[in-house]
Amino acid sequence: MTPDQINFRAEFKYDQGVLIRLNTNKPAYIYYKVKKRDVRPYGLVEFNGRRYAVHRVVWAVVYGEWPQHGLDHVNRDTRDNRIENLRLATPSENSRNKSKATNNTSGHNGIDWNKDKWRVRVGTTFGGRYDSLDLALKVRDLLYSELGYVDDHGD
């Protein structure tokens, strides 16, 4: 049985950010560590012997249907599964709402130090190379606006 064929509302209810099992009226147990060395960035809940992403189950309980496309955590906290923090998003839209990369050298997404200048790249769009970080930031912000990135992308 595929997730879109399951009536998650028959097993769970959603109450103020918490997924509750109807048969026990207690919060559903959320799995974060599934296997050795496999820590998921989001929680999983078990139902009928299978595990499902909590944020997708929350969506199915609230809206009555399994999300056919990706879901984005608006505030980037993958453990915050409140319905107001979830939105339908394509993979491209979801990638426009990500945190700063761990290997970031400038302190700002889309800007890195390259050959004695600040280089601006947003996705696959090259924004140029600049002597000043302030100018690079302005160019990056213009690209964010043109390409539909969220204002605090990478912060």
pLDDT, tens digit, 9 for 90 and up, residues 2-37? 888 899 999 999 998 899 999 999 999 988 865 665
Last residue of a domain, one of 49, 68, 87: 68
Best CA proximity match to 85, nearest among 95, 98, 72, 94: 72
Helix, coil or strand: residue 149? coil
**Does this model's pTM top 0.85?**
no
Q: Which domain holds residue 21?
A: 3-68
Is residue 85 in some structural domain? no
- 8 Cβ contact partners less than 8 Å away, ≥ 6 residues apart: 47, 57, 60, 61, 66
Domain count, the chain: 2
Is residue 82 in some structural domain? no
Last residue of a domain, one of 68, 91, 121: 68
Is residue 155 in some structural domain? no
Best CA proximity match to 67, nearest among 89, 97, 41, 95: 89
Is residue 17 in some structural domain? yes
Is residue 115 in some structural domain? yes
Is residue 76 in some structural domain? no
